[in-house]
Structure 1
Amino acid sequence: MTIYYEDIEVGETDSFGSYEVTAEELLEFAEQYDPQPFHTDPEAAAESQFGGLIASGWHTCSMTMRLLVDGQFNDSAAMGAKAIEELRFPQPVRPGDTLSVQTEILEKSVDSDARGTVRARTETRNQDGTLVLSMISHVMYARR
C-alpha cells in the first residue's frame, strides 16, 4: 500500500532499520568524499580528539538516507526533500556500530492539489541508543 500525504498524521512516530557500519565502507566513503585523516588514516585517527576512525558526517547522512528509503520512502508517494534544517552530529559513528532511525511527524502543509510537504524530525542512533544524527526535513508527498 502506497502512503500518500493524506495518510500521514502529525505526531506519528516510527522506528526502523538496522545498518551495520564497516571500517571498509567508512574508509571508502571518506577517501572519495571527505578525506580528512580522522576518517581515512587509522593511526592519525587514534591520535585525534576522536581516539579512532569515525565516519564522515556526510556518510552518516547517507546511511540515514538508506534507512529512510528502505523503512519509509519505498512504500510511499514521497517526491524528495526540499529542505533540511537543524542537521547535527552529536556523537561520531564508528566502525562496528549498528544504526537505526526514529522519525516523528511535526507538521504538514498543502503545496498544491498534487502535493504536500511533511516536516519531520529524524534521529539516528547506534546500538547503544546514542544519538549520532538529528535533523528536521521537509519532504514532498503526492496527494491522492
Structure 2
Amino acid sequence: MKYYEDIEIGDTMEFGEYHVTEAEIVDFAESYDPQPFHIDKEAATESAFGELVASGWHTASMCMRLLADGPIDDRASMGARGVDELRWKRPVKPGDTLSIRTEVIDKRVSESDPKRGYVDSRLEGLNQHGEVVISWIGLGMIERRNSDENAE
C-alpha cells in the first residue's frame, strides 16, 4: 500500500487495457448521453464525427475504471477533491483499446486534516495508436502513514 509519503512529484505510470465495444457505447449513451452520434450508427454518419463514437463521459468512466484498477488500487486513497482541466481530445470508437498514463504534478499536506495529503495527478487516456483521447488533472486525497511527520 502506498501512502502520501511514498508518492513523489514526477512519478509516472502507464498501464491498462480496455477494449471498447459498440454495444457498450450504445448502452452507456442510451442511459446517460442519448445523442444520435452515440446511439445510432446510421445517424452518426451525418454527424461531425462521421461514425458512432463514445460519449466523452463514457470515455472518462472507462479511464476511471483503469485508474481504479491501477494506482488507486495500490494507494491509501481517500477519494478526490475534484477534477480540473477535463478535455476530450479525440473521439473514442468501437474497437479502440484504451490505456492510461499518469504523472504526479503536485502534493501537499492538508492544512485542515494532518492525516490527509493532497496529490494532484495529470491523467491522459490513450488509444491503441498512442493518441491522447482524454486528459484531466485529478485532485486526489491520500492517507498519510504518520500524520506527525511534516512531509512535503
Instruction: Tell me the TM-score normalised to structure 2 length.
Output: 0.93
Percent identity reads 57
Deviation at 1:86, TM superposition (A): 0.5
Return the alpha-carbon distance in structure 2 between the equivalents of residues 74 and 11 of structure 1.
19
Residue pairs, 1:1-144, within 5 angstroms: 2-111=1-110, 112-144=113-145
Return the alpha-carbon distance in structure 1 between the equivalents of residues 3 and 139 of structure 2.
15
Return the alpha-carbon distance in structure 2 between the equivalents of residues 30 and 101 of structure 1.
22
Letter aligned with residue 63 of structure 1: M
Instruction: Tell me the TM-score normalised to structure 1 length.
Output: 0.98
* Structure with greater Cα Rg: 2
Deviation at 1:17, TM superposition (A): 0.2
Return the alpha-carbon distance in structure 1 between the equivalents of residues 82 and 32 of structure 2.
21
Return the alpha-carbon distance in structure 1 between the equivalents of residues 21 and 45 of structure 2.
17
Moved more, 62-71 or 73-82: 73-82
- 1:38-93 deviation digits (Å, cap 9, x = unpaired): 00000010111101000000000100000000011111101111121110001000
Moved over 3 A (4+): none
- 1:88-140 deviation digits (Å, cap 9, x = unpaired): 00100000000000000000010132101101100000000111001011000
Moved more, 56-65 or 109-118: 109-118
Gaps of 5+ in 1: none
CA RMSD of aligned residues (A): 0.6
Return the alpha-carbon distance in structure 1 between the equivalents of residues 70 and 138 of structure 2.
16
Return the alpha-carbon distance in structure 2 between the equivalents of residues 54 and 102 of structure 1.
22
Deviation at 1:11, TM superposition (A): 0.7
Return the alpha-carbon distance in structure 2 between the equivalents of residues 82 and 23 of structure 1.
32
